[in-house]
Amino acid sequence: MFENIVQCIFVNPWPFWTGGIIIGMLVPMLYYLFNTALGVSTGYGNFVKFIFPSAKLKWIKSKFPETLSWRVFFIVGIILGAFLSAVLSGNFKFTLEMGYFTKIMEWPVLGTSIYFFSSGILLGLGARIAGGCTSGHSIHGIANLHFSSIIVTILFLIGGIISTNLVRFIVMGGAW
């Protein structure tokens, strides 16, 4: 019985609803405890400030006065939490695998790195122009019934559907 519970929590992948309930509860919980909205991508600005504390750019100077903000702690926490999950389930390893992308595409490491780096640039830039990401807009924003977040999320999904299918059919040559 006990082994079964341990197995279900730490080893087996969770069903969608377990994850959804915990992530969803973060929204009211963070308001209740800290009067703060759930959101990750703004923290990337804090992280840039953390790396370049003396950056002269107006946006960084005015928006991120603190070098070591709580948002940096949130980012570090997410990394630690996933690390714990991987270690406890026995799946932790440093790897150059990225699902079927690296299975199908036998690109050299440099080429694959350029691909993922470019997609990262789009994510970072896009999130700032849109004013948030999946957590801040799609989960926090829609949970609060904000019209702007609903519209932005629809555009997130359209962008994702277009790029996934283009990569799938043009770069990888078809079949799932």
Partner 1 sequence: MGKKIGFLFFGIIFGFTLSRVGASDYDLITRMFGGKDFKIALVILTAIIVGAIGMHFIKKLKNPMKNGEKLKISCKELKRFSLLGAAIFGIGWGMSGACPGTVLAQIGEGKLYGLITFLGMLSGTYIYALLKEKHSEL
Interface positions, 56-115, toward partner 1 (CB under 8 A): 57-60, 68, 70-71, 73-86, 89, 91-102, 112-113, 115
**Which residues from 131-170 bind partner 1, rule CB under 8 A?**
131-149, 151-153, 155-165, 167-168
Cα–Cα distance measured from residue 74 to residue 144, given in angstroms and rounded to the nearest whole number? 22
- Angle at the Cα of 43 from the Cα atoms of 50 and 90, rounded to 5 degrees: 95
Collapse the DSSP code of 89 into the 3-class scheme (helix H, G, I; strand E, B; otherwise coil) and give the result: coil
Compute the least distance from the CB of residue 91 to partner 1, in Å.
7
21 binds partner 1 (CB under 8 A): yes
A 10 A CB-CB count for 126 gives 14
From residue 35 to residue 54, the character string flagging contacts with partner 1 as x (rule: CB under 8 A) and all else as - is: xxxx-xx-xxx-xx--x---
Where is 34: in which H helix or E strand? helix 16-34
Compute the least distance from the CB of residue 170 to partner 1, in Å.
12
